Structure 1
Amino acid sequence: MSVAGCGTHTATLLDRNGATVAVANVLTEVEWGRVLDGTSSARALIQPDSDCCGRLGRIGSWRTRLVIFRDGQYVWDGPITDVTWSLGQVEVTAEDVSVWLDDRVPHEEKTFTNVDLSEIAQWLIEDGFAPDDPGHTVEVIGQAGISGSRSYSAGIGQTGDHLRQLAEAGIDYTVIGSKILLLPETHLVSVGRLSDADMPEGLEVSEDGKSLVTRWIVAGSEESGVVGTDGGTDLYYGLHERYIEMTEIADVTSATQAAQARRRVSSQVPVFIDTQQVTISPLAAIDVPSLVPGWALDVTSASTCRQVSQRLKITGVRVTENGGDDNTPGSESVQVQVAATAAEVA
């Protein structure tokens, strides 16, 4: 059985052509994360030594990639988007490969008619990277199981925005290294267990009441005039309505399906569990590199007044390591966020 352990990180800085720019021989701080339906970030604080100072001066935003390993295992990769050189240290901040899609637009006219959302998501990603690919792959873990019609115009809207909006209609995505994973919203395969014993400093259980919507109205483009609705007054919560425009939607059926997908997630007040600023016990029955948003953890906790015992979807992961100093030893902190929305409850 795998356990969390106490990981040690290393980092390498690579040029877009694959050549090594520098190796972080003295890595004093490192932080990396993973998120569901969004772009994760990482940060490294490097102390230059005699062999690498000149090389570190050649780091370039968007040109250089930060690649992070935990106990020798590849866990994070993405382009550097900010770098600061100061006396005795270099700090780099990077974002995963999906950040490129925020700087891309659709490159051709494309219309989909009643196809699985995973096919549309694949096209958005591949079209976004087609003119200039920094290095990526796409893996479909499973089809969304939700079909729809969408229409995209060349040069209109950012590809990243299109992908996030599609994710709100019934498909999930996450990034691991340079790979973009597409998976159904209903994917709930467990990768480990957490109990109160695994979180000795406690956790936080919270509800997000502002996320509750019992009736959705989804409108397509103004030219199409299509509108789809789903839901109504809930006997327990009352009526909470939300209107949104999704200009890429091409027909009433797709608008209705988008409304249904949104209501599946929002029809109950979502419950979130966060391990806060604590370290998950090294003996916890989880393998840290396997903590992938979109997968799930079996969580049992009676440490708060809101007791929890169910399988919850991982929505975020944050791992940090501080190298310490002469007086304080370094340490690793592993934090995970899990959630139960109406989709998981169902």
Structure 2
Amino acid sequence: MAVAGCGSHTAQVVDRGGATVAVANVLATVEWSRTLDAVSTARVVINPDGDCCGRLGRVTSWRNRLVIFRDGKYVWDGPITNISWTLSGIELSAKDILAWLDRRVVHETKAFTDVDLMDVAEWLIDDGFRPDDPGHAIEVIGPAGVTGSRSYTQDIGQTGDWLRQLAEAGLDYTAIGPKILLLPETFMQSVGRLSDADLPDGLEVAEDGDSLITRWIVAGSDDSGVLGDAGGMDPFYGLHERYVEQTEITDSRSAQESARARQRTSASVPVFIDTQEVTISPEAAVDVPSLVPGWSLDVTSAETCRKVTQRLKIVGVKVSETGGDENTAGRESVQVQVAASGAETA
């Protein structure tokens, strides 16, 4: 059985062409994260020695990638976006491969009619990278189960924004290195379990009341003039309405499907469990590299007044280590955020 353990990190700076620019076996600080339906980040502080300093002086944003290993296992990879050189070392900040899509536009006018939204997401990603591909891959875990019609116009809108709109209509995505994972919103496969014994310093259970919407109205493109409507007054929560425009939607059925998907995930107040700054016990029955947003954890907690025994979706992971040296690993903190929404309880 896998356990979290106490990890030690190393890093590499890799050129866009694949050559290794520098290797950092000792990190003063390292932080890396994984995020559902969003761009994740990483940061390292390196105290260079010997020839490493000269190599790190040539590091360039967007040309070079930061690659992070935990106990020798590959856990994070993405383009360096900010660099700070000081007398004591160098700080590198990076974002995962999805950050490129926020700097890309649609390169081809394209219309989809009554297709699974996963097909649309695949096309958007491939189109975004087509003119200049840093080396991406797509893995589809399963169909979204939501069909619709979408239309995109060349040079209109950022690809990352279009992908986030699809995620609000029935699918999830996350990045692990160069691979972009596309998952149905209802995917609930567990990769481990957590109990109060695995969280010796406690945890926080919170409700996000701002996310509650009981009725959605989705408007399509101006030319189509279509509206989709789902939900209504809830006998428990009352009426909470939201209107959104999705200009890529071209027919009434697609607008209706989008409204239903949104209403399904927001019809009850989402419950989040956050380990905050707490270190998960090294004996916890989880494999840290397997903590991927979109997968789930079985969580049992009775320590707070809000008791939880439920399979919950991972929505965020953050791992950090500080204070290590050549002979001793630093102090590691593994934080995970899981959530239940209307999609999970359904």
Q: Does 1:136 align with 2:128?
A: no
Identity of aligned residues (%): 70
Partner of 2:22: 22
* Long gaps (5+) in structure 2: none
Partner of 1:238: 238
Q: Does 1:100 align with 2:100?
A: yes
Q: Does 1:65 align with 2:65?
A: yes
* Conserved 8 A contact 2:220-2:227: yes
SS in 2 for 1:52: helix
Partner of 1:90: 90
Deviation per CA, 1:300-327, whole angstroms, max 9, x where unpaired?
000100000000000000000113479x
Output the amino acid matched with 1:259.
A
**Partners of 2:263 and 2:235 in 1: CA distance:** 15
**Partners of 1:85 and 1:298 in 2: CA distance:** 43
How far is the alpha carbon of 1:329 from its aligned partner? Answer: 7.1
Deviation per CA, 1:188-226, whole angstroms, max 9, x where unpaired?
000000000000000000001111000000001112111
* Conserved 8 A contact 1:25-1:49: no
Deviation per CA, 1:270-310, whole angstroms, max 9, x where unpaired?
00000010100000000000000000000000010000000
Partner of 1:338: 338
How far is the alpha carbon of 1:88 from its aligned partner? Answer: 1.7
**Partners of 1:63 and 1:330 in 2: CA distance:** 30
Partner of 2:109: 109
* Conserved 8 A contact 1:230-1:256: yes
**Partners of 2:331 and 2:259 in 1: CA distance:** 45
Output the amino acid matched with 1:172.
D
Runs of 4+ in 1 over 2 A off after TM superposition: 323-326
Partner of 1:35: 35
Partner of 2:220: 220
How far is the alpha carbon of 1:38 from its aligned partner? Answer: 0.6
**Partners of 1:329 and 1:293 in 2: CA distance:** 27
* Conserved 8 A contact 1:78-1:95: yes
**Partners of 1:27 and 1:319 in 2: CA distance:** 14
**Partners of 1:134 and 1:324 in 2: CA distance:** 32
How far is the alpha carbon of 1:50 from its aligned partner? Answer: 1.1
**Partners of 1:8 and 1:20 in 2: CA distance:** 21
Equivalent residues in 2 for 1:269-308 (5 A)? 269-308=269-308
How much is the aligned-residue C-alpha RMSD, in angstroms? Answer: 1.1
**Partners of 2:189 and 2:324 in 1: CA distance:** 36
**Partners of 1:330 and 1:12 in 2: CA distance:** 18
**Partners of 1:88 and 1:212 in 2: CA distance:** 48
**Partners of 2:118 and 2:330 in 1: CA distance:** 42
Q: How many corresponding residue pairs? A: 345
